[in-house]
Chain A
């Protein structure tokens, strides 16, 4: 059998990778069939503008112009309506594959994006307290064959840590020649930082072929690309997708609508690309914190606290909005301005993920969110 040069190169890379991990591989259980995707909304997504509590008596007064998008929006139940830009997600909801959890927040209670994202990604209770990400710690609980990939040029904080994680974003640069790649492999051999990075790059390149050539700039392309990486034999089981542009201080109605259209297309492309694997898939969409209940002076909202999280996928027990609803009346607001969080985002994630992968809930919670006190996990989020 003749092997293409690129395959030879990748085969060499794999051989080098396996040797230090041999013991772990030998003991490992069979890789899981379950797929998990975390979509992070960087910039503080306005939960009240995504799943709107239109049945709350204080809603219309508090939101003013921002309520306009929900005049004829599809109702999810007596209280909530979904932003009309999310048509595919509505379809998932009707098929009981979408669960919205409202008034959630991480343990972070200030309003800096950068600190808030650090808490959301590390799983700590304050910024920079933990040095690795909860998704990297999740990998350590799973069979050794289960790999993760970030759809980004570099590995985001949630996936950083001792377990090697690949990152991949479509590149429009022409492929470098195989001969140069082989020489670079040799040159990085003795470099402790570059050697493992390069092995990951080569292994990923082997898996993705020429995917990068079709752009991948738009959200749907990213969803399709993530799906391809997740269905490839020996490919990743866990993926993280970064989305930005949620920091809507001004002109929120148009901007948020476009954002949600993109997110909706990304999820739809993921579902299509995953095919039969969608039944075994859990997608979590979450943001670092929410936005103010009232609009500011520039048609936008400022940094707030509680927001909405989404659980999507064939593995989800969906078709409902779960919320211990705090209300939007002035007296009910957190610090007089924000949606008061009544559900802990870390409890939600730990409960969903442990059930999804068949892990013990308490141990998973302790590993992912070490300071979390999970008095009672949340039940009924994911099909076992």
Chain B
């Protein structure tokens, strides 16, 4: 593959019509780091997580009230648009649930569409690719009800502002965001000897469901920072979980937790609830952590953010994303050294990738994920607008529903996860439909040459040239071997 084609496809998200890296593809990529816009206009209408948390809390409160009193539904919550009319004779609980689910679907579809448009329209596609990379590294999964609405806000608020900053700042933004605190159950984790647990235990009808949840603590160590099998123990996980108690979301909890937490503040904001925090100092990774309160977990997180194992973990994942499924050890070592030298400055890592010969090998090194393939296809056909459910539906059909990887590990970044017989067949079906909508307005021969400058194979060029129509030629271009890989 020629350098221009590598810059467009392996680093970028595929060429838009007329996009040309010019004579110095490396400089073109470097300039994108400055050109990147954290909050582009297309994301401007997206609701903030505070609004979404308030709406969810309202919904839950109304749900409980209705269940209790089976009366007519109260007025709609002020934070959201008025709901559709409740049908006469409906069970009010069902009606409320249906109405909330519909609102959730609309919000989710809106956020996914905004994300896709930001990627399709971006003049800095390399930077947008990095947004997707980090959102997947710190994956939340919207198939958990509390997270469905928040997954978009998580990416827009915790990932995008820090993509050109430091790993440490992104880590803190992520672990304090309501989507992450709710997804991995941190928001309701209570220290067994915390004031809250002690008070609750003294009550005559003591509730049993107050206690420690080690989910987020484990995944921070295993997935977000050090990486699996890097020497931490079960005891480290439990101790870290104890240190993290009190890190929660304001205005969300109900029941015993909300009553006593003292988690006050604007709904959806991160809050440290002293009453939930396990008192005392902790032993984690062989060190004593004698800080008190919120500072304790923050100190551990600071330590993890620049830990050598974290440097190696991040270096490996970045190298895998740009240089192939089996990342070249020398590249990993250079990125790791870079991370350790700068303390995790992200643009320095990106520049090291641009400078690395391992990222410019001529043969394709990656099989595109469904998301990468879809975005590059929509860039190729010059998509300007999207129906609200077009991208969400397409991503379900291709096997990668946006922000719903089902697991905190995110989506796999290797060909084995995506290059299946049925998966390729589905791309062919989707390509044909997408091509039909171009109404023969695109000359696929010219567009393919533009997409893959000096890198189009004779077989593909011939298949496109012999197509029975322009739109069939576009479909073939979109599923050509060059287009499925980068």
Contacts and interface: CB of A to CB of B under 8 A. Distances in A.
A34 to B, nearest CB: 24
Interface in A285-303: 295-300, 302-303
A181 B419 CA distance: 17
B417 interface: yes
Nearest to B416: A160
Interface stretch (B33-41, B79-87, B164-172, B473-481): B473-481
B422 A297 contact: no
Given A115-B229, A173-B430, A297-B213, A180 B475 contact: yes
B190 interface: yes
Interface string B214-241: 1100100010000011000010000000
Given A298-B188, A298-B211, A181 B428 contact: yes
A205 interface: yes
A197 B430 contact: no
Contact of A297 (B189, B234, B429): B189
Contacts of B472: 179-180, 183
Given A65-B208, A173-B397, A249-B185, A184 B422 contact: no
Contacts of B208: 64-65, 295
Interface string B413-431: 0011111111111101110
B429 A188 contact: no
B409 A174 contact: no
Interface in B175-211: 185, 188-190, 192, 208-211
Contact of B222 (A112, A183, A300): A112
A357 interface: no
B209 A297 contact: yes
B481 A153 contact: no
A163 interface: no
Contacts of A191: 481
A382 B210 CA distance: 45
A193 B419 contact: yes
B433 interface: yes
Interface in A179-234: 179-181, 183-184, 186-191, 193-194, 197-198, 200-201, 204-205
Contact of A201 (B209, B215, B424, B432): B424
B117 interface: no
B386 to A, nearest CB: 17
A185 to B, nearest CB: 10
A250 to B, nearest CB: 5
Contacts of A188: 481
Interface residues of A, number: 60
Nearest to A112: B228
Contacts of B466: 183
Given A180-B475, A200-B421, A249-B185, A173 B234 contact: no
Nearest to B481: A191
Given A176-B428, A249-B215, A114 B422 contact: no
B365 to A, nearest CB: 13
Given A191-B481, A299-B209, A171 B420 contact: no
B406 interface: yes
Contacts of B432: 176-177, 180
A300 B468 CA distance: 58
B209 A298 contact: yes
Contacts of B416: 154-155, 157, 160
B212 A173 contact: no
A298 B420 contact: no
Interface residues of B, number: 55
A201 B459 CA distance: 21
A168 B399 CA distance: 12
A204 B422 contact: yes
A258 interface: no
Residue among B214, B409, B430, B433 with most chain A CB within 10 A: B214
A265 B234 CA distance: 37
B417 A154 contact: yes
A33 interface: no
B438 interface: no
A324 interface: no
B484 interface: yes
Interface string A294-335: 011111101100000000000000000000000000000001
Nearest to B425: A201
A136 interface: no
Given A173-B430, A297-B211, A154 B234 contact: no
Contacts of A184: 428, 476, 479
Contacts of A250: 185, 188, 213
Residue among B209, B229, B417 with most chain A CB within 10 A: B209
B421 A166 contact: yes
A194 B484 contact: yes
Given A173-B433, A180-B428, A181-B428, A154 B213 contact: no
B234 A111 contact: yes
A77 interface: no
A197 B419 contact: yes
Interface string B446-484: 000000000000011001001110001001100111001
Contact of B406 (A244, A298, A335): A244
Contacts of B480: 187
Contact of B423 (A154, A181, A249, A335): A154
A115 to B, nearest CB: 6
B101 interface: no
A177 B309 CA distance: 50
Nearest to B485: A193
Nearest to B370: A153
Contacts of B185: 249-250, 298, 300
A189 B424 CA distance: 14
B421 A167 contact: yes
Residue among A65, A175, A191, A204 with most chain B CB within 10 A: A191
A144 interface: no
Given A115-B229, A181-B428, A197 B463 contact: no
Given A183-B476, A296-B214, A302-B213, 14 more contacts: A113-B407, A154-B399, A154-B422, A154-B423, A155-B416, A171-B429, A180-B428, A198-B425, A249-B185, A250-B213, A297-B212, A298-B185, A302-B214, A303-B218
- 3 smallest CB-CB distances across A and B, nearest first, come from A297-B211, A154-B420, A153-B399
23 contacts: A111-B218, A114-B407, A152-B420, A153-B398, A153-B422, A154-B399, A155-B416, A166-B421, A168-B422, A174-B433, A176-B429, A179-B468, A183-B467, A198-B425, A204-B422, A249-B185, A250-B188, A296-B211, A296-B214, A297-B192, A297-B209, A302-B214, A302-B215
